[in-house]
């Protein structure tokens, strides 16, 4: 029997008795993998999800047409539910795909007791759902305007608030039971990656969506390796291995010379997937209890070690001796991601494109000390961002430098003075510019939204200290991350500092956050500049190479001039596994990794017995 590992009251106050009492029982020899999210889930509906943590969940419950070789570097796409890689024709605008027969959805009342096979129409239907106005998909921006024949159907749906799923669409159709086709208006060199991104292309059954209606996000029914067995919202999720999952064995390709990856591949090769019978995910927002749960052997893995424990866990980037003696394994990589603080470009104070508005934003950028954020708040577990593109993505230039991360309070104050942001009422904070000295003095403040988490506090304090130093009155709006996301998408925040993780390994996935038509979706700042948008579309038609990189450089120049964001950092992501947890390697963009981890049960029982 495996030992039962209970979470301490410190880790999850008040959760234990209620959650464990409701968790489904397991056979004694079932392997269980436990770890924590730092942010709560929002939904289990792929079309409705955009946050990292919910995206991780859905990628393990549903299936995309393509996947990645989990260990391969450089990244390598492979068929997942397809019989082979898509056939690409007509100049890169037509993708024809054949679903592998014999893949089944997990059992659900929506199927009326019948086995339900995955077919081509499921992918067609699921992609159409992104365009349904009732779904309000935050992922629509990635496909809107690109599928032949879809614009007319979408326009009608927006007028009637009803999407007709039965209307034939030339750009998205099933050719037979297992074959389906996508026809694009123009080449998109990232489209193959979209087919490995669950938020865009995971398959749902129409019967399930119609059966559960608006509650479909609470009832995930997929063909993936796991199924939801227990859910206490924002506290705990339990996922059991899907008994209907197809036969699949571990056959991943490690990079030559990577001893750690080669050892993983050798140990796991040929094992049936998934290798563990249960995944338990706890939502622990505060870093200390999350770290202690791991140290106390209550969790098998800690993802993104809290930055405040970096010097304890891996001083100098090397796993601490005490953790080495326990046999733990450190996986440490720069994330293909970015942190940033956006300015709401439609806000009357920080938004706009007039010279004095640009000057205010650029002064705030100059007055905010990213270096201090990195050294104090992030414990040196990040590097300053010089462009919006995350490390490792196509188009990222590690040698590019800009003034985006310059900290110069003197220059900031001079810029504010030049454009009339002076303290005219004597309260110690700058006021709005006046046309002439006798005009009314109008004060202003800036509201920065952030989560009430311990690791956010030093970031907020750095902002407040820096803004006080240049005479800008900054206040803070506190709310939990899912609520901030909803408020941001509704355009109700003046400033917010989220992070953005790549979903495809290309610069496009970062510049998409600045493309005007994506306002209210990925474009939280609602930045809209015709010149930038034109360049974005031009880049989308080009393959990776010098010509496209030149376009990206010009886009970056415009971004720096108008300053819709304060660029933040690229975080160095550190994950630690217990000695009995085998197989984890951080993948830059892939979220569906649960089936690739295993538990060494004898080693776990030996450690637990000491």
CATH code: domain of residue 347: 3.10.105.10
Q: 584 lies in a domain?
A: no
43 with 144, same domain: the answer is yes
Region for 222 from its dihedrals, namely left if φ exceeds 0, alpha if ψ lies in -120 to 50, beta otherwise: beta
pLDDT score at 11: 37
C-alpha to C-alpha distance for 293 and 580, rounded to whole angstroms: 16
DSSP letter (8 states) at residue 14: T
Burial 386-400 (b: 16+ CB within 10 A, else e): bbbbbbbbbbbeeee
In terms of DSSP bridges, do strands 278-283 and 32-37 run parallel, antiparallel, or are they unpaired? parallel
Q: 71 lies in a domain?
A: yes
C-alpha to C-alpha distance for 23 and 7, rounded to whole angstroms: 14
Residue 482 has phi, psi (to 5 degrees) of: -60, -35
Beta strands in 315-459 (DSSP E): 329-334, 337-343, 382-384, 446-450
The CA R_g of the chain, rounded to the nearest whole Å, is 25
> Are the C-beta atoms of 281 and 236 separated by less than 8 Å?
yes
Kind plus residue range of the DSSP H or E element containing 21 = helix 16-22
Q: 24 lies in a domain?
A: no
Whether the link from the prior residue into 274 is cis, omega within 30° of 0, is yes
> Are the C-beta atoms of 430 and 471 separated by less than 8 Å?
yes
Q: Give yes or no for residue 127 having a pLDDT over 70.
A: yes
In terms of DSSP bridges, do strands 337-343 and 495-496 run parallel, antiparallel, or are they unpaired? antiparallel
Per DSSP, the residues of 105-131 read: PPP-GGGTT---B--HHHHHHHHHHTT
> Are the C-beta atoms of 187 and 541 separated by less than 8 Å?
yes
In terms of DSSP bridges, do strands 565-567 and 337-343 run parallel, antiparallel, or are they unpaired? antiparallel
Q: 607 lies in a domain?
A: no
C-alpha to C-alpha distance for 46 and 126, rounded to whole angstroms: 9
CATH code: domain of residue 53: 3.40.190.10
Q: At what angle do helices 546-562 and 530-540 cross, to 10 degrees?
A: 160
Beta-bridge mates of residue 68: 77
Cα atoms in the 13 Å half-sphere on the side-chain side of 177: 6
Domain tally for the chain? 2
Q: Which two tokens stand for residue 493?
A: 């925040």
Q: Give yes or no for residue 562 having a pLDDT over 90.
A: yes
Q: Give yes or no for residue 14 having a pLDDT over 70.
A: no
341 with 279, same domain: the answer is no
pLDDT score at 27: 75
pLDDT score at 25: 74
Q: Is 346 exposed, middle or buried (0-12, 13-18, 19+ CB in 10 A)?
A: middle
564 with 418, same domain: the answer is yes
Among residues 242, 264, 283, the one where a domain terminates is: 283
Q: At what angle do helices 355-367 and 546-562 cross, to 10 degrees?
A: 100
349 with 221, same domain: the answer is no
Q: 311 lies in a domain?
A: no
343 with 433, same domain: the answer is yes
Inter-residue long-range contacts of 208-213, CB under 8 Å, 24+ positions, other chains counted: 208/105, 208/108, 208/110, 209/129, 210/110, 211/108, 211/109, 211/110, 212/110
Q: Give yes or no for residue 9 having a pLDDT over 70.
A: no
* Best CA proximity match to 519, nearest among 341, 342, 386: 342
C-alpha to C-alpha distance for 222 and 245, rounded to whole angstroms: 10
> Are the C-beta atoms of 522 and 513 separated by less than 8 Å?
yes
Average pLDDT over residues 336-364: 97
Q: Give yes or no for residue 326 having a pLDDT over 90.
A: yes
C-alpha to C-alpha distance for 534 and 568, rounded to whole angstroms: 26
245 with 147, same domain: the answer is yes
> Are the C-beta atoms of 23 and 228 separated by less than 8 Å?
no
C-alpha to C-alpha distance for 87 and 396, rounded to whole angstroms: 29
Q: 468 lies in a domain?
A: yes
Beta-bridge mates of residue 443: 431
Distances (CA, A) of 578 to 144, 300, 575: 44, 5, 10
C-alpha to C-alpha distance for 159 and 447, rounded to whole angstroms: 36
Among residues 241, 266, 283, the one where a domain terminates is: 283
pLDDT tens sequence across 22-63: 667 777 679 999 999 999 999 999 999 999 999 999 999 999
Average pLDDT over residues 454-468: 95
444 with 566, same domain: the answer is yes
pLDDT tens sequence across 238-282: 999 999 999 999 999 999 999 999 999 999 999 999 999 999 999
Distances (CA, A) of 18 to 8, 227, 285, 461: 14, 21, 19, 37
pLDDT tens sequence across 196-248: 999 999 999 999 999 999 999 999 999 999 999 999 999 999 999 999 999 99
Q: Which two tokens stand for residue 287?
A: 């870093």
Cα atoms in the 13 Å half-sphere on the side-chain side of 381: 25
Distances (CA, A) of 74 to 44, 77, 184, 575, 589: 30, 10, 27, 20, 12
Average pLDDT over residues 587-606: 95
pLDDT score at 405: 80
* Best CA proximity match to 449, nearest among 413, 480, 416: 480
Q: 590 lies in a domain?
A: no
Which of 153 and 605 is assigned the larger pLDDT?
Answer: 153
Q: Give yes or no for residue 3 having a pLDDT over 60.
A: no
360 with 279, same domain: the answer is no
In which band, very low, low, confident or very high, does the pLDDT at 90 lie, cut at 50, 70 and 90? very high
The rounded mean pLDDT for the chain is 93
381 with 475, same domain: the answer is yes
Cα dihedral value 285, 288, 291, 296, nearest 10: -120
pLDDT score at 29: 74
263 with 387, same domain: the answer is no
Secondary structure class of 31 (helix, strand, coil)? coil
C-alpha to C-alpha distance for 22 and 32, rounded to whole angstroms: 16
Among residues 253, 283, 313, the one where a domain terminates is: 283
pLDDT tens sequence across 168-181: 999 999 999 999 99
475 with 555, same domain: the answer is yes
C-alpha to C-alpha distance for 154 and 201, rounded to whole angstroms: 18
162 with 274, same domain: the answer is yes
Average pLDDT over residues 566-578: 96
Secondary structure class of 104 (helix, strand, coil)? strand
pLDDT tens sequence across 394-443: 999 988 888 878 999 999 999 999 999 999 999 999 999 999 888 999 99
Kind plus residue range of the DSSP H or E element containing 555 = helix 546-562
> Are the C-beta atoms of 253 and 76 separated by less than 8 Å?
yes
- Tokens 């005007």 correspond to 516
pLDDT score at 16: 38
pLDDT score at 610: 53
Q: 408 lies in a domain?
A: yes
> Are the C-beta atoms of 565 and 497 separated by less than 8 Å?
no
Q: Which two tokens stand for residue 454?
A: 């311990």
Domain of residue 539 covers: 337-571
pLDDT score at 24: 72
In which band, very low, low, confident or very high, does the pLDDT at 1 lie, cut at 50, 70 and 90? very low
In this prediction the pTM is 0.88
């Amino acid at each position: 029997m495996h030992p039962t590992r209970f979470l301490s009251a410190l880790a999850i106050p008040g959760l234990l008795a209620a959650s464990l009492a409701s968790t489904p029982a397991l056979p004694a020899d079932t392997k269980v993998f436990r770890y924590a999210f730092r942010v709560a889930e929002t939904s289990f509906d792929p079309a409705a999800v955009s946050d990292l943590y919910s995206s991780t969940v859905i990628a393990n419950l549903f299936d995309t047409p393509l996947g990645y070789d989990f260990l391969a570097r450089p990244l390598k796409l492979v068929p997942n539910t397809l019989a082979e890689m898509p056939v690409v024709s007509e100049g890169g605008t037509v993708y024809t795909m054949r679903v592998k027969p014999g893949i089944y959805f997990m059992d659900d009342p929506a199927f009326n007791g019948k086995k339900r096979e995955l077919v081509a129409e499921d992918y067609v239907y699921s992609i159409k759902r992104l365009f349904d106005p009732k779904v309000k998909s935050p992922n629509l921006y990635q496909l809107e305007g690109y599928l032949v024949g879809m614009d007319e159907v979408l326009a009608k749906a927006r007028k009637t608030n009803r999407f007709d799923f039965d209307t034939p669409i030339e750009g998205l159709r099933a050719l037979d039971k297992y074959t389906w086709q996508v026809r694009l208006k123009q080449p998109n060199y990232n489209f193959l990656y979209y087919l490995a991104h669950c938020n865009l292309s995971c398959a749902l059954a129409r019967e399930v969506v119609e059966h559960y209606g608006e509650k479909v996000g609470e009832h995930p029914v997929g063909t993936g390796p796991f199924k939801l067995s227990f859910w206490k919202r924002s506290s705990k999720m339990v996922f059991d291995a899907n008994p209907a999952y197809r036969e699949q064995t571990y056959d991943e390709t490690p990079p030559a010379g990577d001893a750690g990856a080669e050892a993983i591949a050798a140990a796991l090769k040929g094992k049936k997937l998934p290798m563990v019978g249960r995944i338990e995910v706890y939502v622990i927002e505060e870093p200390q209890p999350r770290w202690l749960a791991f140290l106390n052997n209550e969790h098998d893995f800690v993802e993104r070690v809290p930055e405040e424990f970096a010097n304890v866990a891996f001083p100098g980037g090397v796993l601490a001796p005490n953790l080495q003696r326990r046999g733990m394994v450190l996986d440490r990589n720069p994330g293909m991601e970015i942190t940033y603080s956006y300015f709401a470009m439609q806000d009357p104070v920080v938004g706009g494109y007039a010279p004095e508005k640009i000057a205010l934003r650029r002064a705030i950028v100059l007055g905010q000390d990213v270096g201090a954020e990195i050294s104090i708040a992030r414990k040196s577990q990040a590097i300053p961002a010089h462009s919006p593109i995350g490390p490792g993505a196509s188009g990222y230039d590690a040698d590019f430098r800009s003034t985006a991360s310059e900290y110069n309070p003197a220059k900031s104050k001079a810029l504010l003075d030049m454009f009339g942001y002076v303290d005219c009422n004597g309260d110690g904070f700058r006021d709005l510019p006046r046309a002439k000295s006798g005009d009314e003095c109008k004060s202003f403040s800036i509201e920065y939204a952030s989560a009430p988490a311990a690791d956010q506090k030093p970031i907020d304090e750095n902002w407040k200290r820096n803004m006080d130093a240049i005479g800008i009155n900054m206040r803070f709006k506190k709310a939990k991350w899912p609520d901030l996301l909803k408020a941001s998408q509704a355009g109700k925040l003046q400033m917010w500092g989220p992070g953005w993780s790549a979903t495809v390994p290309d610069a496009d996935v970062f510049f998409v956050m600045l493309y005007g038509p994506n306002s209210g979706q990925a474009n939280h700042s609602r930045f809209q500049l015709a010149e930038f948008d034109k360049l974005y579309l031009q880049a989308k038609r080009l393959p990776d190479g010098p010509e496209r990189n030149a376009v990206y450089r010009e886009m970056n120049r415009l971004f720096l001039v108008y300053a819709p964001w304060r660029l933040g950092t690229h975080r160095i992501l550190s994950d630690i596994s217990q000695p009995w947890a085998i197989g984890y390697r951080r993948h830059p963009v892939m979220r569906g990794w649960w089936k690739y981890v295993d538990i060494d049960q004898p080693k776990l029982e030996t450690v637990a017995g000491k």
